[in-house]
């Protein structure tokens, strides 16, 4: 069956639905920007977008290519220095949702954005930490969005850049992190949530047209499914229209869609 939407679109829409109106969301670089700006056009017009470059309450009309485009500063309620964003607004406990992308994730929601291979002689040098370690430490909860691929969902991270639940159980609490940790992992195949006791990520929803076997094949550990796995509601026409309009306007502004 040919679906009327792409998996990429399903992923962005599924993520946008998880952002409640009025929440304060620290938007990481990449895919989070797409979902956060989509949510603002749908059910969450008062979602407060905070970018680590300094804009607070940004309301961009097109997706920025970077996290510091002029569009963000021009449309923000205020723009503050970088150290202030991290000190007063993040460390000070003002952020509800930290929204991150990553290159690798493990079963406990720990993230690697630093290297593939050995740190001193890496096979692939990735961009690095950016704001992620402290965003994931201090936000009341964290959302992580990434494509569901075996090279990304790994048994063992090459490098722990950002802590989720460490090795599970109460390890995160023992480390003294004040934020709650990963609440949702959104992929192009489904949604995962931490088991309340072990904190292992468990599949709780599967997007329409996706088979369990596909999720198993694309996860680098023996992935667990919740007792009751929901099917993600298919994108509604207004969700698709808003996403496609956002992308079209962004493409017209930059020459190609951004945030990926």
Partner 1 sequence: MAEITSLREAVAGLVRDGDVVALEGFTHLIPHAAGHELIRQGRRDLTLVRMTPDLVYDQLIGMGCARRLVFAWGGNPGVGSLHRLRDAVERGWPHPLELVEHSHAGLASAYVAGASGLPFGLLDGYHGSDLPAHNPEIRFISCPFTGRRLAAVKAIRPDVAIIHAQRADRRGNVHLWGIVGCQKEVVLAARRSIVTVEEVVDELDAPPNACILPHWVVTAVCPVPGGAHPSYAQGYYDRDNAFYLAWDQIARERERFRAWMERHVLATEDHAGFLRSAGITLPRERVA
Instruction: Note the residues at the interface with partner 1 (CB under 8 A).
Output: 29-30, 52-55, 61, 64-75, 79, 81-83, 86-87, 90-91, 114, 119, 121-125, 127-134, 137-138, 159-163, 166, 175-178, 253-256, 258-260
Q: Which is nearer to partner 1, 62 or 210 (CB)?
A: 62
Q: Which is nearer to partner 1, 85 or 191 (CB)?
A: 85
Closest approach of partner 1 to the CB of residue 99, in Å: 15
Closest approach of partner 1 to the CB of residue 210, in Å: 27
Determine the Cα–Cα distance for residues 35 and 247; give it in Å rounded to an integer: 11
Residues serving a catalytic function are 52
Q: Which is nearer to partner 1, 75 or 224 (CB)?
A: 75
Closest approach of partner 1 to the CB of residue 53, in Å: 5
Closest approach of partner 1 to the CB of residue 115, in Å: 9
Q: Which is nearer to partner 1, 18 or 79 (CB)?
A: 79
């Amino acid at each position: 069956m040919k679906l009327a939407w792409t998996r990429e679109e399903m992923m962005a829409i599924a993520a946008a639905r998880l952002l409640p109106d009025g929440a304060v969301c620290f938007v990481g670089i990449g895919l989070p920007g797409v979902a956060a700006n989509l949510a603002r056009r749908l059910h969450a017009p008062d979602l407060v977008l905070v970018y680590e470059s300094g804009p607070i309450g940004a309301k961009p009309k097109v997706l920025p290519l970077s996290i510091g485009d002029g569009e963000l500063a021009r449309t923000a309620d205020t723009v503050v220095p970088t150290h202030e964003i991290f000190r007063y607004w993040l460390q000070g406990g003002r952020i509800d949702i930290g929204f991150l992308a990553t290159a690798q994730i493990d079963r406990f929601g720990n993230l690697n954005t630093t290297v593939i291979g050995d740190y001193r002689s890496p096979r692939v040098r990735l961009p690095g930490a950016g704001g992620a370690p402290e965003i994931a430490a201090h936000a009341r909860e964290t959302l992580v969005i990434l494509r569901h691929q075996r090279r990304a969902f790994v048994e063992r991270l090459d490098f722990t850049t950002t802590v989720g639940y460490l090795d599970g159980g109460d390890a995160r609490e023992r480390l003294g992190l004040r934020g709650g940790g990963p609440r949702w992992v959104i992929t192009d195949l489904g949604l995962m949530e931490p088991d309340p006791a072990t904190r292992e990520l468990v599949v709780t929803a599967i997007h329409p047209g996706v088979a369990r076997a596909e999720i198993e094949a694309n996860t680098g550990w023996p992935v667990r499914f919740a007792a009751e796995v929901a099917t993600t509601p298919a994108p509604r026409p207004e969700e698709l229209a808003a996403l496609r309009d956002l992308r079209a306007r962004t493409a017209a502004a930059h020459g190609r869609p951004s945030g990926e």
